[in-house]
Homo-oligomer: A and B are copies of this chain.
Amino acid sequence: TIRDAILAGLRAAPKKMQLPPPDHLPLVGRRAIITAGPTHEPIDPVRFLGNRSSGLQGYAIAGALSRLGANVTLISGPTSLEFPRGVNGARVETAEEMRSATLAALPADIVVCAAAVADWRVDHATNSKIKKQPGQSPPVLTLVPNPDILAEISAVGPERPRLVIGFAAETDDVEENAIAKRARKGCDWIVANDVSTGTNVMGGPQNRAILITEAGVERWPRMPKDELASRLAERIAEQFTDDAPIAAKKTP
């Protein structure tokens, strides 16, 4: 099989290539798409609506899947992070751009929507800076809904990835909201985080996740984001044992 050929090649590769140890590459031959970071929705050339997201968790997941052998495309909103080694990275700004880049990267076996996509954008962004006029009222921002990338990927038809994972950043009723989100989006798993003020999850080095799957609710302990990423990657790999990869990238 293709998988066997790749594994054989990796075993034969010289050490100095610094590839991951070839004895644990359960995701070789699998394609994964990860979205990460925030989106910025322009109001005018200098102002935008943004989401607080460092991108740390999504980047860590991209790196962890890559280390398990997956072919990883990371579609990132504005962050100050470098792409993990071995990962194909693409930078976008808005939810619309993130949607286009994600759909263009299909088909895939695994999609992890870790980005904090803005739910709304400003109806008409202007090309000129809105001037603050002394004595005048501030502008009114009319918002319109952004595309729902997670729901769209979950319902994409014949190309639907076998495992679609969404994230839920919640401040209240974390578990209940995450279970409802899984049903509403049609995705397979939800990784839910409590991002209330004081948890220091957003931008911080640690995370505490609740994993919602078809089988139920797993409450994971607080751990570094890198560790959470590795654990999630292993959990993903378990879903792909003993069968052949389904998705090959369309030739352009």
Contacts and interface: CB of A to CB of B under 8 A. Distances in A.
A118 B47 contact: yes
Interface residues of A, number: 40
Interface stretch (A28-36, A141-149, A216-224): A141-149
- Stoichiometry (number of copies): 2
Contacts of A128: 171-172
Contacts of A131: 177
Interface string A134-153: 10001111111100000000
B169 A145 contact: no
A120 B138 CA distance: 7
B40 A50 contact: yes
A105 interface: no
A175 to B, nearest CB: 15
A18 interface: no
A52 interface: yes
Contact of A138 (B51, B134, B139, B144): B144
Contacts of A170: 129
A16 interface: no
Contacts of A169: 46, 129
Contacts of A49: 43, 47-50
Nearest to A137: B143
A97 interface: no
B116 A132 contact: no
A191 B35 CA distance: 39
A51 B47 contact: yes
A80 B79 CA distance: 9
Interface stretch (A64-72, A155-163, A194-202, A229-237): A194-202
A141 to B, nearest CB: 5
22 contacts: A40-B50, A43-B49, A45-B195, A45-B197, A45-B202, A46-B202, A47-B49, A47-B51, A47-B118, A48-B50, A48-B52, A80-B80, A119-B138, A120-B132, A120-B138, A128-B172, A129-B171, A138-B144, A138-B145, A140-B140, A140-B142, A141-B141
Which 7 pairs, one residue from A and one from B, show the smallest C-beta to C-beta distance?
A80-B80, A138-B143, A119-B132, A50-B50, A141-B141, A120-B138, A129-B171
